[in-house]
Amino acid sequence: MARTFSEQEMVRRNKLKEISKYCNPYPEKYERTHELKEVKDLEDGVEGVRVAGRIVFMRKMGKLSFVRIRDIEGDCQLELKVDTLGEESYNFFKTLVDVGDFVGAEGEVFTTQTGEKTVRVHVLTFLGKALKPLPEKFHGLTDIETIYRNRYVDLIVNEESRKRFLFRSNFVREIRNFMDEKGYIEIETPVLCSQPSGALAKPFVTHHNALDIDMYLRIAPETYLKRAVIGGFNKVYEIARNFRNEGMDPSHLQDFTAIEGYGAYLNYEDNIKLMQEMIQTIVLKLFGKLEITVNGQLVDISGDWPSISMRDLILKYCPIDIKEYNTKETLLAKIYETKLEIDSETPLEDLGYGNLVDQLYKKVARPNVVEPIFLTEHPISLSPLARANDEDASLTDRFQLIINGAEIINAYSELVDPIEQERRLLEQAKLKDSGDEEAMMMDYDYINAMEYGMPPISGWGMGIDRLVQILTEAENIRDCVLFPLMKPEDK
């Protein structure tokens, strides 16, 4: 089936044919002396400067034209004059070069009367033709679906997106720097798993043709990172892509990036201190202050963040005491009695007690949290991989960091008793058989690894996309993912 092109696209394709008569329109390389962002720091009169980038603005005049070229980190103005460039090259530029094309420029640096560092071009090299026009510069790219689907165009024309994704890259780099300085070792664990474990979530299912077995995309790297601790890694972490076949909303994605870390001989209270230090260190490094903007208000994140139990936080916003209603049947009856409308992909009647508490908490309490808090004392059935509290075995030694109604970090002192772990996973398997799609499967391979012995461990996981969403004030988590999953367009 033949493709059809707009009038502008046909004009550009005809220009491409003309350019081919003068030079290779797609050359192999171009030697640069400076990045575009570096030009502003050069002294006037520096010669032999060679820069390259995409044209995003042109003002073509008689014998003098100005061009702005850009990449993800910066831009630079070029001055093109017929006297310095030569008549043939200048006419080539005026007749065949468009906004969106790539060019290389060699020349000398000077400052214009408006105070802008500019390269006066002596040699212009054509580096690539854009066959589609960019969005009109005064309106940019504003349609949300087009922004997500054509992120490459969004990055070209929208400064906010360029800043956000540069921030994300710097943020991840600072996480690695912090973890490395604390003695943690980065490793990789499988994405394809025979058992989806490490979290309460519905997995994606796929099929391995060579082995002829069904497999799962990981929902978390947790049990493999713990295997590494069993093998002798005292401090280990992974920045992992995870997959959970659940709903989408402005703060949830089915595929997302998280970091998980595990430390031998530590407990969850050690990790409360570590996580607070990590976030404060990175925010101070990237923002220069311990303040973030949440919903248009400055939030001070210095000092120690408060801790509150899940029971107390629910009671603060709802007259349901989960210590009193401590079974699935009594809690479900109380929820119906209070006429709370709780949205859940799995019917409430099919959820176990722990997941039911979690749904209640997410409905009535979590949306009210703005400043950072550590949520503690989760029900044991909500945390099948966590260590039970020594004083109250119905609770776990666990915390979550909540900021602006979103769970940023989930952490606990790990369960290292293989006999107790087997019992809990069997309970989870029964819940799964009863219809709770978020319950865990039985994983005897992990139990087998545990039986070789584990030291005391505390671990944590942090959603990178979600924290970047908060720190950059993005309305939707997909604004913080470079290429979010989109439903294919009908062609």
Sequence ranges of the domains in the chain: 7-134, 157-480
Q: How far apart are CA 324 and CA 327, in angstroms?
A: 9
Nearest 5°: CA angle at 116, between 115 and 121?
Answer: 130
pLDDT for residue 406: 87
Q: Which helix (H) or strand (E) holds 400?
A: strand 398-403
pLDDT band at 137 (very low <50, low <70, confident <90, very high): low
Kindly provide the residue ranges of all beta strands, DSSP E only, lying in 142-275, ordered along the sequence: 185-186, 192-193, 205-208, 213-217, 235-243, 255-264
> Alpha carbon of 350 to those of 40, 292, 346, 431, 432: distances in Å?
62, 40, 7, 8, 9
- The tens digit of pLDDT for each residue in 322-358 reads 999 999 999 999 998 988 888 887 888 888 888 899 9
pLDDT for residue 139: 58
Residue 383, both tokens: 């945390």
Pairing label, strands 291-294, 297-300: antiparallel
Which one-letter DSSP state was computed for residue 34?
A: S
- Is residue 142 scored above 80 in pLDDT? no
Nearest 5°: CA angle at 397, between 395 and 403?
Answer: 100
- Is residue 491 scored above 70 in pLDDT? no
Residue 350, both tokens: 């099919």
Of 142 and 37, the one with more pLDDT: 37
Looking at domain 157-480, its CATH class is alpha beta
Q: How far apart are CA 400 and CA 409, in angstroms?
A: 5
- CATH code of the domain occupying 7-134: 2.40.50.140
- Is residue 138 scored above 60 in pLDDT? no
Q: Which of 13-17, 198-202, 315-319 has the lowest mean pLDDT?
A: 198-202
**CA R_g for the chain:** 28
- The tens digit of pLDDT for each residue in 421-450 reads 999 889 888 888 888 877 778 889 999 999
Overall average pLDDT of the 452-479 stretch? 95
> Alpha carbon of 108 to those of 4, 78, 121: distances in Å?
43, 10, 7
Overall average pLDDT of the 357-383 stretch? 92
Overall average pLDDT of the 286-297 stretch? 91
- Is residue 321 scored above 60 in pLDDT? yes
pLDDT for residue 436: 80
Of 213 and 442, the one with more pLDDT: 213
Average pLDDT score over the chain = 93
Q: How far apart are CA 468 and CA 471, in angstroms?
A: 5
pLDDT band at 487 (very low <50, low <70, confident <90, very high): confident
pLDDT for residue 140: 62
pLDDT for residue 251: 85
Q: How far apart are CA 461 and CA 459, in angstroms?
A: 7
- The tens digit of pLDDT for each residue in 380-403 reads 888 877 898 999 999 999 999 999
Question: Exposed, middle or buried by CB within 10 Å (0-12, 13-18, 19+), for 35?
Answer: middle
- The tens digit of pLDDT for each residue in 7-61 reads 999 999 999 999 999 999 999 999 999 999 999 999 999 999 999 999 999 999 8
pLDDT for residue 431: 85
Sequence-distant contacts of 360-367: CB under 8 A, at least 24 apart: 360/314, 360/318, 360/320, 360/322, 360/331, 360/335, 361/310, 361/313, 361/314, 364/314, 364/317, 364/318, 364/320, 364/340, 365/313, 365/314, 365/316, 365/317, 365/318, 366/402, 366/405, 366/406, 366/407, 367/405
pLDDT for residue 101: 98
Q: How far apart are CA 383 and CA 458, in angstroms?
A: 13
Comparing C-alpha atoms, which of 152, 131, 119 is closest to residue 26? 131
- Is residue 453 scored above 90 in pLDDT? yes
Q: How far apart are CA 370 and CA 96, in angstroms?
A: 54
- The tens digit of pLDDT for each residue in 53-103 reads 999 999 998 899 999 999 999 999 999 999 999 999 999 999 999 999 999
Q: Tell me if 67 sits within 8 A of 126, measured CB to CB.
A: no
